[in-house]
Structure 1
Amino acid sequence: MQNTLLIGLSRQMTLERQMDVVANNVANVNTSGYKADRSLFAEYLNSGAHEDNFVSADRRLSFVQDRATFHDFSPGNTEQTKNPLDLAIDGAGFLAVQTPAGERYTRDGGLQINNQGQLVNASGYPVLGNSGPIVFQPTDHDISIAADGNVTVLEGTGRTGAVRGKLRLASFTDAQKLVKEGSNLYSAGDGIAAQPDTGSRVRQGFVEKSNVNSVTEMSRMIEITRTYTQISALLQQQSDLHKSAIEKLADVPA
């Protein structure tokens, strides 16, 4: 009876964590460039609760263990905006941005120009090129960003072209080690470093949407809620059975 309670509790703990992951995915269904998280579970075998110290193979219990979460880096749908500062990345690359905490990486290509003329992301952090932040002059217009990340403009009233930099796209040998830090940013985890990405291509005037499927995530949320409720009912039944057994044992004549 005690084993049933322990197994049910292990499952409820993993369901709670899974609900947190699904809820975060649902909250970012409209976040450009967002990559969904997935839960990873495993069977954990252990001896059951018993009075003696003897453990046999047929008495080992199967618990649920929350191993980890992993990133789903499958591409999201692209949407044309015709905004020259909107970018979508075809490939596994990331934009590099400079933050007060150091260099960070993002797939969110909704960019802007701040008061200092710097190309920045939605949070206001400078987007990095191969030679540092990309900076525009007050007279620049007709910004063009090529597929290889080359940023060119027309200067002043003339038709003279000028290069303002080249976007530094980064890739990682093991992207699963990237750590989400909020604001749609990733930091490089232990043991990995950003590498130049020459295979990805930039699409100007497009943004990559979140890869979260809202229907699928809502279905998962309903399934998790129902499973949690069913386990709660089972544990309540076991608790009532235990209580009833104790009450009947108390009525047995000495």
Structure 2
Amino acid sequence: MERGLYIAASGMLVNQLRLDVVANNLANAGTAGYKGDRTASRSFGDMLLQNLEDGAPVGPLSLGAQTNGVETSFDQGALRVTERELDLAISGNAFFAVETPDGVRYTRDGSFRRDADGYLVTAAGRRVLGESGPLRLAEGKVTVGADGTISVGGAEAGRLRLAALEGARKEGGGLLAGEPRAATGASVQQGYLEAANVDAVTQMVAMIEIMRSFESGQKAVQAIDETLQKAVNEVGRTG
């Protein structure tokens, strides 16, 4: 009986984490460059039962479910046209580098703008880095080449620092940390933004399935609890 309670409770905990992940994916389905998360679930290792008297094997006992943590999918999102000259998207395995108080961080969100001082910045106001430091743009028409070279009014103003990441991990606000590596085969598309690589409909379906599974776990826990209470009351009346 206690085993059933434990299995049901562990399943509910797994579903709670899955629900949190799906809810976050849904909240960011409209965020440029967002990379969706997913949970990896598995069963606890089975425990082999043995006869206490002679040690003969009785059989395996499942101990419920657990997660292997949250994983991020870095699959390419669809590119959508915006025609804004400072909207940039990357095709391929690379990230834009940005300046933060904690050091260089990386993003796939290329919805950039000029700040009051002429620096190219993210939507949150963080300076975008070129190969020689923060990129500062004069007034004029901006063109960006596939290799990340930026020109203003026909004069070269710098080149975007692009990097592939090893051990990429999310830090919030659309930023990632990791070990930068040379970006090969990646190209920059001006006038485009990369859409989130999650599908809202798929995430909604997953949420409904998770909630149903969670409710089933709740009912199982309630049923076991009622049975245990009944057993305790009956034992109390014995004799």
The interval holding the TM-score normalised by the smaller chain is: over 0.9
- Give 1:48 shift: 9.2
**Per-residue displacement from partner, 1:182-204 (whole Å, max 9, x unpaired)?**
1111012xxxx201213100000
Identify the range of structure 1 (239-248 vs 206-215) with the bigger mean alpha-carbon deviation. 239-248
User: Partner of 1:36 in structure 2?
Assistant: 36
- Give 1:179 shift: 1.9
* Correspondent of 2:225 among 234, 239, 242: 239
**Per-residue displacement from partner, 1:120-159 (whole Å, max 9, x unpaired)?**
111111111111111112xx311100001000111xxxxx
Q: Matches of 1:246 and 1:197 in 2, distance apart?
A: 66
TM-score, length of structure 1 as denominator length: 0.88
Letter of the structure 2 residue corresponding to residue 250 of structure 1: G
- Residues 96, 168 of structure 1: 8 Å contact kept: yes
Q: Matches of 2:172 and 2:64 in 1, distance apart?
A: 32
- Give 1:27 shift: 0.5
Identify the range of structure 1 (234-243 vs 95-104) with the bigger mean alpha-carbon deviation. 234-243
User: Partner of 1:146 in structure 2?
Assistant: 145
User: Partner of 1:171 in structure 2?
Assistant: 164
Q: Matches of 1:76 and 1:232 in 2, distance apart?
A: 37
Letter of the structure 2 residue corresponding to residue 148 of structure 1: D
User: Partner of 2:133 in structure 1?
Assistant: 132
**Per-residue displacement from partner, 1:168-223 (whole Å, max 9, x unpaired)?**
11002x4xx322111111012xxxx2012131000000111111100110111111
Task: Describe the SS at the equivalent of 2:44.
Answer: strand
Aligned length: 237
User: Partner of 1:14 in structure 2?
Assistant: 14
User: Partner of 1:182 in structure 2?
Assistant: 172
List gaps (5 residues or longer) in structure 1. 155-160
TM-score, length of structure 2 as denominator length: 0.93
Identity of matched residues, %: 36
